[in-house]
Structure 1
Amino acid sequence: MLTSPPGSLRGARHPRVEITPPYVDTYGPEAIELARRAGLELDFWQQQAITLMLASRDDGKWACFEYAELVARQNGKGGILEARVLAGLFLLGERLIMWSAHEYKTAMEAFLRVRALIMRLIDEGLVDADAVKVNNTNGEEGFELLGTGQRLKFIARSKSSGRGFSGDLNIIDEAFAYTPAQHAALMPTMSARPNPQIIYTSSPPLDGESGDVLFGLRARAEAGGDDSLGYRDWGAAGDLDHLDALDLDDRQLWAATNPAVGVRITEETIARERRSMTAVDFARERLGVWPRRVEGGGAIDVQQWAKLADPDSQAGDDVVFAVEVAYDRSTSSIAAWSVRADGLGHAEVIDQRPGTDWVVGRLVELRDRWNPVAFGVDGKGPALSLVFDLEAAGIKRPGDPEKPGRGDLAVLSLPEMAAACGQLLDAIAQGTFRHLDDPDLNAAAAGAATRPVGDVEVWGRRNATAEISPLTAVTVARRVYMTRIDAIKKPKRKPLAAWA
């Protein structure tokens, strides 16, 4: 396979993995034309990326709140980002665009490339030179449109930079080095933006112990059900621990994993890399093969989770409701746990909405309609703040903890939450319950992480790669059900119906 005629190979037009959320329109053609006028001719695969990246729903919001383009180095993912920021500045009116990279030199290379493109637009008469302020100050590099106040800034990420790089558009270049702590600091700040977007570009993680955010993105893409995630991965299937399953000398594989072959990457270049690099380095750097994630890096096996989906699952006679609030308080989730007629558990997200002001009233409605066994709250989590209002509304902790009544409130301690997490993980592994294949719960399961508390673990809100309040609510609901059901007299069966 090393004997194909020189120059005959052409890169693939489509990636191996492509997750496309539904959309009704796109600014892609306008962005592609603007880039062309700036001297940036996009390849077909780059045009496809920018078209999906700039796709919108029928409400005008981005179809892809998150977008990931994972492709080997030197293929041209920087060109996609350059076209995107030009569109943000000159077509879309985005107020603040933050382009962050792992290393300062990478951020500065991007700054210089974008500066050249803007200068070309000025030379073409499409942009007024007096309207663009260029900031070359070390550490403050970027552009400002003086008439509108729009800004594009280039920064290197650091341990302390997370809370300082939020914009309407957030570009996470070199995402293999993007940490859960940086992600946790960024995501809450985007909730105040009217139509935010976060874009990840990267080659695969360096090893199986790092790259938690990228592994989480891949898990969410594999799990499906997240209609706000656009995801394209050009890398070869498999992992770095099983390279015997790949023919690293297969030039068709080179083309499949490198869309720029025959354009800006030559066969000769890749052949030299193959001769001079180790098999592992070549597979990762040129073929985009991922490392195998170290066990424990992902809290929940998404393939096992997917097996538990049952959209027709129905709750049994008795039910527990639990509430959890996102750690940034941007959203709240109410979940239910019950046991079906066949003895399997039933997990369901009942409601998820922005903020917290709706929660108490909704739980009162559920109490009056369903006469639940109990209500649950994580006593060490953000939802603890709701306990006072819940008790004022009549959802109270029992006067005697040993004799709880139907509909009483259970506030779980940290040891109880640790037990609850372990029990839910066991239930997932053993397949003893079913869920409704809810997208929010699927995303929470795919992005869930744990954190140690002594010799046990609980869900980690800040190191998760997704908003996990739906999963935490399910965890609490299950624990409360298991600890309260035997103490509560069962009511007469209510007719099956949707939660109302």
Structure 2
Amino acid sequence: MSIPRQAGKTYLVAAMVFAHCLIHAGSTVAWTAHHNKVMLEVFDSLKAVAGQPGVAPRVAKINSSAENRSIRFVNGSRIVMAARESGALRGVAKVSILVLDEAQILTSNAMSDMLPTQNQAAHPLTIMLGTPPRPKDPGEVFTAQRDAALAASKAGEPLEEATWIEFSAPADCETDDKEAWRKANPSYPKRTPLRAIRKLRRALTEDHFRREALGIWDDLSTPAVIPPHIWKGLADDRSKALSKLVLAIDVSPNREQAAVALAGLRDDELVHVELDESREGTGWIVDHVAARCAKNSIAAVVVDARSPASSLVRALRKAKIRVVTTNTDEMTDACADLVDACMNNELRHIAQPQLTLALNNARKRSIGERWAWNRKTAESDITPIVAATLAHWGVLSRKVRNTAAQRTGRRVMVL
């Protein structure tokens, strides 16, 4: 089951497993989560269910020790709690129902370790619960289940020995459309109030909110946004930016990679883009950009306000660097502008392998009727092309007023 956060999935599945335990004496249910903290939160919820007047007389004992967290019923059934990060279900056998919470970070190894616990059960049932995985999540098991369900649906055939249930807003919906929130979350707005969804909206990035609050999966099946032959045809190793010079910064979601790109106008009025620098981490960025600005006539440094790079804005401005931030609409404009420039032969680059690789690893992520860049896989680094996109936007944007003097000679940036 793919379902957004704060949608009541714990109580839904809890009702199912309690009913199973009460009807089928001697049953064992194992409820697992990846993180110990999540497992403890779920256990508190299950203990609350066990304390309900209609259930409490049928509960024999609740164990809350670190070694044994379980709910035992008078008829011999039990619910056992386990965290996958700490070894999960060692010594537990004949599991009738295996609940895999946080399925978006369920690895193949963890799955292979736990499934044998159901080998001796008469009618075993495995329930996966999760939100759409982030690009960096090890979500191969959960994703494979969804892919199988979509393939079966497309072929008009039933899914063999499985059911896939997905709560999500339409993939092309506006992020702030409250009707989309209602479609994605069956508990909104009665059980999950408007303020709770708004709190998530403020706390999460656009990508994370669409996954975790709206249940929208990333689409990784689409081809390259800019065909490789088009990009290759725009290469010019003698290209250089001479005016309207703009830098831009992007940082990966895990902050392990970052890139600075340059864009500017050539003498033929085409836009030149290039990767200035790409390194691990973020500690180098402010000093690097400050040095570039000190030696070159940089009109502005562009940063997307909703990206991980936004945390650098204060330090950049403290260093007397002119920073221009983009909002969601401007970011989607920037992506469309870059593609249009490539398809209309209005851009040049210098065939840098890192920039080309980043473009090849980039895909579209829908934001309403528009789109922004997304990573093809969890390992993909697209910071170079995102930074280049923002720099290209800066050259064309009225928001970035040109304060840079004309210059001639070699390219502004030398890698």
TM-score under structure 2 normalisation?
0.48
